[in-house]
Amino acid sequence: DTAVSQTPKYLVTQMGNDKSIKCEQNLGHDTMYWYKQDSKKFLKIMFSYNNKELIINETVPNRFSPKSPDKAHLNLHINSLELGDSAVYFCASSQGTSGRVSYEQYFGPGTRLTVT
């Protein structure tokens, strides 16, 4: 069983298009995250959601809009894609409910986005 899954694995699109990446976790966690890994492999947090509520927004452009329909899913929609958005996007999850808090984060396999 895949703990944190993402679709699609690869996404190639043109500048100006809108695209979405989906993430699902079956770990029963309450907190989910989006991270961006650039071409130099640097990992940086973008968003954090706890039980469907946005907790962290790391000065990400408004073109990026996360949505959490339930605590097991976190999607990332990107409008008006730019060349600089090309990267690998990782979803992660952790346990984050009062009384059952864990620091450990588990990452998905990533979505490689290429904007041409």
Partner 1 sequence: QQQVKQSPQSLIVQKGGISIINCAYENTAFDYFPWYQQFPGKGPALLIAIRPDVSEKKEGRFTISFNKSAKQFSLHIMDSQPGDSATYFCAASELMNYGGATNKLIFGTGTLLAVQP
Size of the site for partner 1 (CB under 8 A): 33
Site for partner 1 in 8-47 (CB under 8 A): 30-31, 33, 35, 40-45
Per-residue mark of binding to partner 1, 48-87 (x: CB under 8 A): x-xx-x-xx-x-----------------------------
Handedness of CA 81, 36, 101, 95 (dihedral sign): positive
Cα–Cα distance, 29 to 71 (Å, whole number): 7
Alpha carbon dihedral 60, 83, 17, 63, in 10-degree steps, equals 10
Cα–Cα distance, 3 to 23 (Å, whole number): 11
In whole angstroms, the minimum distance from the beta carbon of 106 to partner 1 comes to 7
Residues lying near partner 1 in the complex (CB under 8 A) are found at 4, 30-31, 33, 35, 40-45, 48, 50-51, 53, 55-56, 58, 90, 94-98, 101, 103-110
